[in-house]
Amino acid sequence: MRRKIIAGNWKMNKDIHETATLIAELTERMKDFRNEVDVIICPPFTSLVLANALIKGSSIKMGAQNMSQYDDGAYTGEISARMLLTIGCEYVILGHSERRQYFKETDELINQKIKKALSVGLTPIVCIGETLEERESGITDKIITTQIKGVLKELTSSEVEKLVIAYEPVWAIGTGKNATPEQANQVHKLIRKLIGQMYSWNLAEKTVIQYGGSMNAQNASSLLSQSDIDGGLIGGASLKSEAFMAIIQAAVEVAK
């Protein structure tokens, strides 16, 4: 049985004061939580040190939203994998569609970042997904296949075992228009099939594949009950404790 992971991608939101408020609300709401699912928050870099202190004693884990493909050194403005690890990050989101779109990240670069994250012991949450144009031209499967092959290039089976994959159709991100549970599940099955072909069916069965794109309190349950959807990567709805908690609760119900 794959464990469900609910991760909040705060994006470029929440200064340190707002971070403190949101975490206080979340830890209060999660008082009776029994660890039935993994809960991760990914605040912006400037909030990570504070967030790490504030989640102590709770079951919330922490991730970053990006990192450099390089080790420490002369890379002005960048943050290394080791830096993230030493301030308490266990996860790092890599290859988010906003990084691909606005910062021109490619599968090749994302692949380098994945290798770097794994080398220090961070768990990458690797994002892939097609645009609306690609879906409408009927090439979703082709795009997903290219992305999976690109981001996993030269990774061993024991490395892939440590990854979390997030399927995030670009047209569903921040639009309020989620993929239907069936649409999402179909792509999740494809991703699992690809991992099966590239590695083994055993590994494919173990791989945690999250869905992301307008997941909210209303649609979480139906998405998370699909056979191949193992959690959610949540943007907008992770910025309010009530909405995020409702998604966590939906995951707990489905996991029962």
| Alpha-carbon torsion, ordered 207, 29, 85, 14, to 10 deg | 110
Query: Least distance in Å: CB of 235 to ligand PGA?
Result: 2
Find the binder of ligand PGA among 63, 169, 212, 231 (CB under 6 A). 212
| Cβ count within 10 A of residue 223 | 27
Query: Least distance in Å: CB of 213 to ligand PGA?
Result: 5
184 near ligand PGA (CB under 6 A): no
- Window contacting ligand PGA (CB under 6 A); options: 52-60, 144-152, 219-227, 229-237: 229-237
- Please check whether residue 217 is in contact with residue 205, taking contact to mean a CB–CB distance below 8 angstroms: no
22 near ligand PGA (CB under 6 A): no
SS3 of 243-255: the string is HHHHHHHHHHHHH
Helix locations, the chain, DSSP H: 16-29, 48-54, 81-86, 97-102, 107-120, 132-136, 140-151, 157-160, 181-198, 201-206, 220-224, 241-255
| Cβ count within 10 A of residue 80 | 18
Query: Least distance in Å: CB of 32 to ligand PGA?
Result: 25
63 near ligand PGA (CB under 6 A): no
234 near ligand PGA (CB under 6 A): yes
Phi, psi of 241 (to 5 degrees): -60, -35
229 near ligand PGA (CB under 6 A): no
- Complex with ligand PGA: residue 95 or 204, whichever CB lies closer: 95
129 near ligand PGA (CB under 6 A): no
Active site annotation includes 188 = no
Site for ligand PGA, rule CB under 6 A: 9, 168, 173-174, 212-215, 233-237
